[in-house]
Amino acid sequence: MMVSRDIMRSSTRDFQKYYNPKLHNELRMDTNTNVLGSNPAAMRYLKNMEVELDSYPNTYSDGLRSELAKLYGLEMDNIVAGNGSDEMLDVSFKTFTEWGDNCVVPVPSYTLYDYFVTMNGGKALEVDLTEDFQLDVDSIVRSDAKIAIMPSPNNPTGNVFRHRDIEEILSKFNGIVIVDEAYVEYAPKGSMITKVNEFDNLIVLRTFSKVYAMAALRVGYAASNKDIADMMNSVKIPYSLNKISENAAIAAVKDQSFVKMSVDMVTEQRPMLAAGLKKLGFEPYPSDSNFILAKSPIDHSVLVSKLKEKGVLIRDFGSKRRTENCVRMTVGTEELNSIMLGKIAEVLEEFR
Ligand SMILES: Cc1ncc(COP(=O)(O)O)c(C=O)c1O
């Protein structure tokens, strides 16, 4: 039986499923996750855990929220914790978007923003980044929008946005400003998280999926002033963060040595990967993150599909506006980068 999509809610009828490549043991350099393997402190907890499965987790993940509050000099009530920062995005739009509201989404930026805005009844108001991939402050401030979202460092371009621009938007924009800091640990210029009590409209999003190497456990959080956090906690699905993931995240926060080692590795390897790409004819963009966006010297889709056949996955952004013919790859260890560059060189050899 064929069921027409007309039965779907009209606002979500055109949705397509998310990126889900068929895997055959490829080297995954396409998801910006930590290449150093599972977070050791979280793994130690999982190997020795004793957990009661018959009771619910703490309703609002108080244990993790307190540990994060200690880390940033905030209070537990400044934080909302949940099932990945994707849930925090969903909760932000659910809490503050009225049906038909505009939400500023920069172009290019994280592909799922449009999805969360639309799903929650809003309309994505696309505002292009400037030529050097910085925020167009005037257009954002002047926009008739309820929420403005920006990932800093930006995915897929890799650069951070200037703090003075973000702060100007925070002071002049008449709405909520979400700064998505999924990759901020890699950025030397740091985070806006310590400023959540300074601005009444700032939400900072963070995740355990990237530098913490815990993507499998789906843990993310939002920080904001207490009033905003209270509103978001009232909307969030209770218990959305499971007990096991919460405890593993607490263990990981208490041991920052792995995070530091991971950041040091990326800081050292990033310029070498960029140099290797340049040598092969790519044009890499400057990155403050654990991935690099680069213009390919051959057709982007040929490069990505042939690399996959050779066992390496990178992400294709080449058909999207502002990232024409570009691909994005995770910064690996010296060994992984050398494997990836070697395979890229083979593809170029065959297709030039
Ligand atoms: C900018 C940005 N925000 C949020 C996320 C989602 O993170 P999480 O795994 O915590 O849902 C990603 C994942 O790639 C991302 O790149």
- Whose CA is closest to atom 12 on ligand 1? 182
Angle at which helices 300-309 and 334-351 cross, to 10°: 120
- DSSP notation for 25-45: S-EE-SS---TT-S-HHHHHH
Sequence-separated (6 or more) residues with CB below 8 Å from residue 314 = 29, 30, 303, 304, 307, 327, 328, 329, 340
Residue 62 has pLDDT above 90, yes or no: yes
Looking at CATH, the fold of the domain delimited by 19-34+258-351 is given as Aspartate Aminotransferase, domain 1 (3.90.1150)
Q: Choose among 325, 334, 213, 302: nearest CA to 262.
A: 213
Determine the residue of 180, 221, 288, 329 to mutate for testing ligand 1's pocket, defined as the one with the most ligand atoms within 8 A of the Cβ atom.
180
* pLDDT tens-digit series, residues 9-18: 988 999 999 9
Residue 164 has pLDDT above 80, yes or no: yes
CA distance 202 to 177: 5
Average pLDDT, the chain: 97
CA distance 176 to 189: 23
CA of 86 to the centre of ligand 1 (A): 6
Confidence class for position 190, pLDDT limits 50, 70, 90:
confident
* pLDDT tens-digit series, residues 74-89: 999 999 999 999 999 9
In ligand 1, which atom is closest to the CA atom of 210?
Answer: 9
Per-residue pLDDT at 188: 79
Pocket of ligand 1 (CB under 6 A): 32, 84-86, 110, 151, 155, 180, 182, 207, 209, 215, 220
* pLDDT tens-digit series, residues 135-147: 999 999 999 999 9
- Whose CA is closest to atom 2 on ligand 1? 182
* CATH architecture for residues 40-254: 3-Layer(aba) Sandwich (3.40)
Per-residue pLDDT at 11: 87
Sequence-separated (6 or more) residues with CB below 8 Å from residue 262 = 34, 36, 185, 211, 213, 290
Amino acid at the residue 32: N
* pLDDT tens-digit series, residues 106-122: 999 999 999 999 999 99
**If you search the block for the tokens 């068929």, which residue do you land on?**
22
Determine the residue of 92, 110, 291 to mutate for testing ligand 1's pocket, defined as the one with the most ligand atoms within 8 A of the Cβ atom.
110
* pTM (global) more than 0.95: yes
- Inter-residue contact 102 to 128 (CB < 8 Å): no
In ligand 1, which atom is closest to the CA atom of 151?
Answer: 1
Per-residue pLDDT at 313: 98
Phi–psi pair at 192, nearest 5 degrees: -95, 0
Where are the domains positioned within the chain?
A: 19-34+258-351, 40-254
Confidence class for position 351, pLDDT limits 50, 70, 90:
confident
Q: Choose among 294, 286, 283: nearest CA to 270.
A: 286
* pLDDT tens-digit series, residues 196-255: 999 999 999 999 999 999 999 999 999 999 999 999 999 999 999 999 999 999 999 999
- Tell me which H or E stretch contains 346: helix 334-351
Torsion sign over Cα 315, 316, 320, 325: positive
How many H helices and E strands in the chain? 11, 13
CA distance 177 to 161: 14
- Inter-residue contact 168 to 183 (CB < 8 Å): no
Per-residue pLDDT at 29: 97
- DSSP notation for 78-147: GEEEESHHHHHHHHHHHHHPPTT-EEEEEESS-THHHHHHHHTT-EEEEEE--TTS---HHHHHHS--SE
